[in-house]
Structure 1
Amino acid sequence: MMILFQPPPQFGLLNASPFCMKLEAFLRYHKVPFEIKHARPDRGPYRKIPFVKFKDEIIGDSSAIINRITAEFQIPDPLTDTQKASSHAFKIMAEEHLYWAMVYSRWIEPDIWPQVKEAFFAPVPKLMRNFVANKIQKNVMKALEAQGIGRLPKAEIYARARLDLIAFSNWFAENPYIAGEDFSVYDFSIWAVLSGIISASLQTPLSKIAKEYPNLEQYLDRVNSRLDF
């Protein structure tokens, strides 16, 4: 049986990480047998989560794992090349751009950070908690700066994130899913990122912006009804 390594759930979601969320949901939807073991990112092959043990092989990166499982279990792919092209572009926008605005809104916003610190670092002994939490927060800030979004003023970060949300909203005004009429593997990525922003109990400034576009929540409802777990 496959072993899925990831942190425990947070914020009323399958997982605080959209990458863990999309992989767990994908496995559940396709009824791939697996068990979950909790692990830190630094235990994975790329020093990030999730990662899996499958047939005595450790595999990292959620997209690489999904590709491997799709091939191994011969999961059909009904999309045309054109559908794949546009869906891939939306996936990159969600996971490589909008995701980082979500990270900023959780880890850097001064009004939100105390809630994140309590959620993630409560198990750390009290004498070490602030030291460990602040060190990890600094590492997150370095990652944001390396990605580029952390170098921008806060207003610009949210302005750019809003453009992503508008793009998704405009798309879902005419299409039920990210590939059009067809529910596909790409929806797991979009659903996970948007859920992390909109559905999490942790409501950030980015959450408030996203809720200005009601059809994003309607999209999440459609996907949730398909997942049904």
Structure 2
Amino acid sequence: MADIQYKFDDRYPYGPKGKAPWITLNGKDYADSQLIIEFLGKEFRKDFCNSLSKEEKAVSRAMQIMAEEHVLFGLGWWRFVVDRCESMSVLMELSFFEYLFMKSLIKKIRKSLWLQGFGRHNDNEKIEIIRKDIEAISNYLGTKKFLNGDIPCETDCSLFGMLSQFVWGAPGSPFESMVKNDYPNLLQYCYRMKEKFWPDWEQ
């Protein structure tokens, strides 16, 4: 999207803040996706939302925060608490030691969800909370190609990053069913993003 050259390195999955994604540039590490985007924008003089109005930027920021700081809890709950990393271990073809590492995170994720508050809801309440978020994204997207029209922006990356997990990374989850069956415009949106930015997805 920004035409910034990069090299993917999967040797160290978690960065200096214990989170992913993270990057290294000129020997220095940077963590947190939003801070990385802002840093790269300044470093390479890129404006990832230059085509948006102030109102569109405001809505985009709200959507991005909802995805990264709210919908994420639903994904974490399903992946680590309900599925206990079983689907992910198959999809990612994890080694035995990688599998054990992911399993070791279950208790930590469960505790984090409880402290945040999401983990205190019953399962039906959790599903309904995330359904409303997914529906909000679907309603705002409508029939547009991307979140704000024909040109994708950085928020599309955040939304795709989350929605794609439901489409391809959470088999059997209620969220997979929602996106594929109840909100077809989001499924089509995921395929558009995939085809535009990852033509080598299957390789």
Q: TM-score, normalised by structure 2?
A: 0.84
Task: Verify: 1:93 aligned to 2:63, yes or no.
Answer: no
Aligned residue for 1:82, secondary structure, equals: helix
How do 1:13-24 and structure 2 match up within 5 A?
none
Cα-to-partner distance string for 1:100-158 (whole Å, 9 max, x where unaligned): 10111111115x643335658633199xx4xx554321001011112211111010000
Moved over 4 A (4+): 117-121
Distance 2:86 2:94 in 1: 10
1:167 Cα deviation (Å)? Answer: 1.0
Task: Verify: 1:116 aligned to 2:81, yes or no.
Answer: no
* Equivalent residue in structure 2 for 1:215, among 178, 185, 189: 185
Asked if structure 2 preserves the Cα contact closer than 8 Å seen for 1:91 and 1:190, the reply is yes
Task: Verify: 1:224 aligned to 2:197, yes or no.
Answer: no
Distance 2:194 2:86 in 1: 29
> Residues 46 and 141 (structure 1 numbering): CA distance in 2 closer, same or farther, change over 3 Å?
same
Aligned residue for 2:115, secondary structure, equals: helix
Aligned residue for 1:96, secondary structure, equals: helix
1:189 Cα deviation (Å)? Answer: 0.4
Task: Verify: 1:56 aligned to 2:65, yes or no.
Answer: no
> Residues 181 and 40 (structure 1 numbering): CA distance in 2 closer, same or farther, change over 3 Å?
closer
1:78 Cα deviation (Å)? Answer: 2.1
Distance 2:103 2:98 in 1: 14
Match of 2:159 in 1: 190
1:34 Cα deviation (Å)? Answer: 1.8
Bigger relative contact order (CA 8 A; separation at least 6) = 1
Aligned sequence identity (%)? 25
Structure 1 gap ranges (5+): 1-28
In the alignment of these two chains, the number of paired residues is 194
> Residues 115 and 215 (structure 1 numbering): CA distance in 2 closer, same or farther, change over 3 Å?
same
Aligned residue for 1:35, secondary structure, equals: coil
Aligned residue for 1:59, secondary structure, equals: strand
Distance 1:195 1:202 in 2: 11
How do 1:77-156 and structure 2 match up within 5 A?
77-110=50-83, 113-116=85-88, 119=92, 122-124=95-97, 129=100, 133-156=102-125
Aligned residue for 1:159, secondary structure, equals: helix
Structure 2 gap ranges (5+): none
1:36 Cα deviation (Å)? Answer: 2.1
